[in-house]
Structure 1
Amino acid sequence: ELPGEPETTDGFGLALAAGDWNGDGFDELAVGAPGEDLGAGVLHVLFGGASGLTPSGSAVLDDFLLGGFTEPGDRFGAAVAFGNLNGDAFDELLVGVPSEDLPVLGGGTLAEAGQIVIAYGHAGVPAIGLVQHLREDNLQGASEASDFFGATLAAGDFDGDAFDELVIGHPGENAVSGAFTVVGGSGDGVDISRRRRFASAFDGVPGSPPNGFALSLAAGDFDGDGFVDLGVGAPYATVDGVEFAGSAVVLPGALFADGFESEDSGYWQDSR
């Protein structure tokens, strides 16, 4: 059994991901419980081995253990993914904290603006190594209340450079129109100089906002061209006049083969 006791509204299992965080050749299973501790949230990591998962050696992580502040309502672990951002033998653990309140210079806070945490993989896991926190205003755009930056996460090598890119959903952006940001990988890890933001309200996404665009994400090489493609859900989209009909679109990974410079506007494949 895992550490802790089941409690009402823990939300254990709301988010799941698998990846080899410690580089031993066996994948770990990360299980989010974002409702734990009055919604502060925790993440359980079960380590893989020759006999399968081993709950007895699991790690329990929270925002504080990864260099942040544990606060009720932050929902740490509401999204989780693994990706090899720096091309070594270890996957990085990616954790969304979408309801994090961010401080404002001069006073006040941006309620539920959100952030993500990157815990880099290494042989000494579960001991914590390099950790990065990213907010929307570290990348492209401004952090705003109710953006829910980090509500969804995905990773994959979209540009074919052997480093995974990081995809961060912020479905509350622009009054729930939604957006996501793709950030490049490199030998030093996430490269914030290589990023691109896609917003439902501005980038020609099929369906009428508010879409909840990027409320779900999936990465896979759908066309077999060697570039990972991105599927993006917009479950609140109005389609052909039908409210909340929903839509799913695909962004071909080859769009990024030129180093995130393409201005092609004809990339959406509507899968509604």
Structure 2
Amino acid sequence: MMAEYTAFDTRYGLTLSAGDLDGDWRDELIVGMGPDPKNSGILKVLKYRGDGFTELMSQTLYSDRTYGINTTTGDIDGDGLPEIITTPGPGPNSPATVTVWKYTTDGLTEHFTFTAFDGMYGANVATGDIDGDGLAEIITGSGPDPKNTALVRVYKPDGTLVNEFTPYPAKHNYGTTVSAGDLDSDGVSEIVTGLGPGPQNEPLVKIFESDGTETGSLTAYPGKMGYGVNVSIGRTGSQ
């Protein structure tokens, strides 16, 4: 273990993403409060300096009890630095709004906000350049409302909807988790989904092109496991 840091004195863990926010070629960690029903949407940015973590900023982005906050990063405006993208956590009163934030040493400033889905329980969010134009699109998955079918919506960097598709049959509720990355080295990102946390939802992962064409799937864990699966994409080696 390289280092350990307690970000919050709360329950239900935390949400985590990373990105080089300040252009020093080292990723910062973006941590948000986990989905405790008592948690608001507090976000912190941490810098690893070799001997431990330093907290660069802490900001309350959602003041109500939103069951925490979901985060990701992506270069939305093409300036070479990633923005921070957030949604409220999976609370029954959390709207499915997506907000893009610009990071500065003084804190976060709101760039723009749009509504990804009708209803509550927040949304899952990822970014990826799915059309090869050098800008990250915003990929959203429906939140874990017990009544929500799995729905993916893809938005341009200005919040304009460009595509939507249903990755799983309607019998699967509790929404869908999402990630994105260039899995086949063709220069554009694929969209990866996982079933939401329904008690009967298997850990089924699917891969899609940007137009919703399925290109692969796998069951992440053996046996009769429920409650879906979270997905994330990243390099694990030198390639």
Query: Which TM bucket (shorter chain)?
Result: 0.7 to 0.9
Specify which of 209, 212, 226 is matched with residue 174 of structure 2: 212
* 1:183 equivalenced with 2:155 (yes/no): yes
Q: Which string of whole-angstrom CA distances, capped at 9 and with x for unpartnered residues, describes residues 183-226 of structure 1?
A: 11xxxxx222343222x3xxxx3445224342x22222122211
Partners of 1:131 and 1:178 in 2: CA distance: 28
Structure 1 residue 247, shift from structure 2 partner: 2.1
**Partner SS state of residue 194, structure 2:** strand
Partners of 2:179 and 2:7 in 1: CA distance: 31
Structure 1: segments with no counterpart, 5+ residues: 64-68, 102-110, 137-141, 185-189, 256-264
Specify which of 143, 155, 179 is matched with residue 171 of structure 1: 143
Structure 2: segments with no counterpart, 5+ residues: 220-239
* 1:245 equivalenced with 2:202 (yes/no): yes
More helix by share: 1
Structure 1 residue 98, shift from structure 2 partner: 3.5
Structure 1 residue 36, shift from structure 2 partner: 7.2
Match of 1:269 in 2: 216
Structure 1 residue 266, shift from structure 2 partner: 4.4
Structure 1 residue 38, shift from structure 2 partner: 2.6
Does the Cα contact within 8 Å between 2:125 and 2:138 map onto a contact in 1? yes
Superposition pairs of residues 32-71 of structure 1, within 5 angstroms: 32-34=32-34, 38-48=38-48, 51=50, 54-55=53-54, 57-63=55-61, 70-71=63-64
Partners of 1:35 and 1:100 in 2: CA distance: 8
Specify which of 102, 123, 130 is matched with residue 120 of structure 1: 102
Q: Assess, with a 3 A threshold, how the Cα gap between structure 1 residues 15 and 177 changes in structure 2: closer, same or farther.
A: same
**Partner SS state of residue 38, structure 2:** helix
**Partner SS state of residue 176, structure 1:** coil
Q: How many aligned positions are there?
A: 216
Structure 1 residue 95, shift from structure 2 partner: 1.5
Specify which of 183, 195, 213 is matched with residue 162 of structure 2: 195
Match of 2:186 in 1: 225
In structure 1, give the amino acid aligned to 2:24.
D
In structure 2, give the amino acid aligned to 1:118.
V
In structure 1, give the amino acid aligned to 2:82.
D
Q: Which string of whole-angstrom CA distances, capped at 9 and with x for unpartnered residues, describes residues 130-154 of structure 1?
A: 4322223xxxxx622x3x232x221
Partners of 1:125 and 1:37 in 2: CA distance: 30
Specify which of 137, 148, 154 is matched with residue 126 of structure 2: 154
Q: Assess, with a 3 A threshold, how the Cα gap between structure 1 residues 192 and 31 changes in structure 2: closer, same or farther.
A: closer
In structure 2, give the amino acid aligned to 1:251.
F
Superposition TM-score, scaled by structure 2 size: 0.75
Partners of 1:249 and 1:21 in 2: CA distance: 30
Match of 2:9 in 1: 6
Q: Assess, with a 3 A threshold, how the Cα gap between structure 1 residues 126 and 178 changes in structure 2: closer, same or farther.
A: farther
In structure 1, give the amino acid aligned to 2:185.
G
More strand by share: 2
* 1:75 equivalenced with 2:67 (yes/no): yes
